[in-house]
Amino acid sequence: MDLVLPDFGLLFWTGLVFCSLLFLLAKFAWKPILSAVNERGNSIAEALELAEKTREEMKTLKAENDQILKVAKAERDEILKDAKQTSNAMIESAKEKSKEEAQKIVDAARDSIRSEKAAAMAELKTHVAAISLEIAEKVVRTELSSDEKQKALASNLASDINMN
């Protein structure tokens, strides 16, 4: 039965030792350990928070950079497009002009050719008329050289009239 009855001597010593242990540990062990550990915990938490914040900042910074880059790209594209358009227009207008010029030259050439041709034709006509007159004179001379030939011609002409 004395197994379950508290013994006063041991109770006394337990009280003495445990209370002094509690006091000593609270003062020399738990306080420094807990403050160090909790401080470290806090600093770690702060560091984590800072890292998170930095990451957030980096994110926004990156987004900004991206925005700027996008704008610059768009601008560049615009400029390139404009330049292309201008050059195209210039080429186009140059082509147009040269075409016109060529047309003009061709037209002029054609005009001159036409006038030359007309002149040549006129000259040719006069020559042909003169030659025809000469030939006609010669033909008429031969045709009307005798009476029979004059009669035949007259009857020929007359038959033609009859046919009509």
Partner 1 sequence: MYGSIAAIGAGLAVLGAGIGIGQIGGKAVEGIARNPEASGKITTTMIIAAALIEGVALFGVVIGLLGGTPA
Partner 2 sequence: MKKALTYFIIALVFSVTSFAVMANDHKEESQEEKEFDVSEMIMHHVKDAHEWHLWGPEHGGTSIYLPVILKTDEGIETFSSSHLYHGELVHIGENHYYKGTGPAEGFAMFHEKIYELDEHGMLHFEDGHVHGNVKPMDFSITKNVTSLFIGSFLVFILMFSCARFYKKNGAVAPRGIAKFLEPLILFVQDDIAKANINEKKYKKFVPFLLTVFFFIWINNLLGLIPIFPGSANLTGNISVTFFLACLTLIIILVNGNKNYWGHIFAPPGVPKALLPIMIPIEIVGIFTKPFALMIRLFANITAGHIIILALISIIFINKNVAWGALSVPMALFISVLELLVAALQAYLFAMLSALFIGAAVEEAHH
Contacts with partner 1 by CB under 8 A lie at 1-4
Residue 30 binding partner per list partner 2, partner 1, none, with a CB distance cut-off of 5 to 8 Å that depends on partner kind: partner 2
Which of 4/161 has CB closer to partner 1? 4
Which of 48/89 has CB closer to partner 2? 48
Residue 21 binding partner per list partner 1, partner 2, none, with a CB distance cut-off of 5 to 8 Å that depends on partner kind: partner 2
Q: Is 145 helix (H, G, I), strand (E, B) or coil?
A: coil
Matching residue, tokens 């009476």: 147
Q: Give the whole-angstrom CA distance, residue 137 versus residue 122.
A: 22
- Greatest extent of the chain over all pairs of C-alpha atoms, in Å: 195
Q: Give the whole-angstrom CA distance, residue 129 versus residue 11.
A: 165
Residues lying near partner 2 in the complex (CB under 8 A) are found at: 2-15, 17-18, 21-22, 24-26, 28-30, 32-34, 36-37, 39-40, 43
Which of 2/148 has CB closer to partner 1? 2
Q: Give the whole-angstrom CA distance, residue 155 versus residue 160.
A: 8
